[in-house]
Amino acid sequence: MGFKFQGFDFIQFDSLLSEDERLIRDQTRGFIEQNLIPIIEQCNREGRFPRELVRPMGELGFYGATLDGYGCSGISNVEYGLLTQELERGDSGIRSFVSVQSALVMYPIYAFGSEKQKEFWLPKLATGEKLGCFGLTEPDFGSNPGGMRTRARRDRDGYLLNGEKMWITSGSVADVAVIWAKLEDEEAEIRGFLVETDRPGFSATDIHGKWSLRASVTSGLSLQDVRIPAESILPTSGGLKSPLMCLSQARYGISWGAIGAAMSCYDAALQYAQQRKQFRNQPIASHQLVQEKLAWMLTEITKGQLLALQVGRLKDRGKAQFQHISMAKRNNVWMALECARMARDILGATGITDDYPVMRHMMNLESVKTYEGTHDIHTLILGQSATGISAF
């Protein structure tokens, strides 16, 4: 059944956007409506990543979109935010894929890589000819990445890598992995390495049985005596700060993406409530309790838009700090998950079927609430920012 998305703009939000910003959002919206919406429920059922969309998204400049040069689009952070909003309105898994390719693979190569690394990898990653993944999280270390056990040891004219990574988006489809490891002979300093996935000793195994992000690939990585040349290290990476800078990029995109998922749920609930009749042959949209839920969603999505836009404007001026991004990620994902739950409530039993996108968004957002810094970790980041005292 389903409904065609009607758009969302309660307080003339579009008047705050430039013509270019609206154009990128509308172009992305058109792509998603035409190419993803018709297939996403089937992909979700089958647990299939729609690989056929990889190159078309590359042609539209979705990957590494905020980077300059090397075949990248060089758009603003606000434009990129609006792009991720539309991607996640389609599906969190697709936005995750683009986020990883952009913020967690292309960005570290751009920020910490050598000129040779940039010239080789970035143009190929920008088109989708090559895919990447980001190996930070481990089976025993998620919120505490500094405890990682993966090690890099100098060996002859290069490095030998050993370790395990877990919950890695695009792991088994990637051509290159950005692996974070502790360098054994430099006081265990964390460094980034570019590891081609066809190197001996590297293996990726998909995680099955997921009830969330079913349309994206999630893998575990194993590195057993993986030998890489000296020039595979990201030369200016150093310490935990480097991967955390990458995560800040990704969290920023998530703060916008979650708004898209919330919009999708609100829109489905509104249109359903206007059509579904119950009691005195009246649409359930006429009932006070249903209107209260719609009013809550309408208000919270609008607040989320303003928060994401201000953080984006700050980011474009080089003034966004990690605690600003934490607030936007934490609030907007929580808000979107609450919207999904309320929308499911309004849809009643139909809300659990994939005739509508609501249950899929709800299950996806359960993961989004946890990854790239859990809701609770972002709470503590804000607490530390407010008090000057770290609670973790």
**Spatial CA neighbour of 121 closest among 100, 135, 134, 107:** 107
Contacts of 353 (CB under 8 A, 6+ apart): 359
**Distance between CA atoms of residues 256 and 309, nearest Å:** 8
Task: Specify which residues 182 forms β-bridges with.
Answer: 151, 190
Q: Which residues, other chains included, contact 61 with Cβ-Cβ below 8 Å and sequence gap of 6+?
A: 72, 73, 75, 126
**Rounded alpha-carbon distances, angstroms, from residue 287 to 196, 264, 281, 284, 346:** 58, 21, 12, 5, 11
372 is catalytic: yes
Place of tokens 């838009």: 305
**φ, ψ dihedrals at 296, nearest 5°:** -65, -50
Helix (H) or strand (E) holding 223: strand 218-229
Q: Is 118:110 a contact under the CB 8 Å cutoff? A: yes
Residue tagged active-site, from 21, 86, 338, 372: 372
The catalytic site residues sit at 372
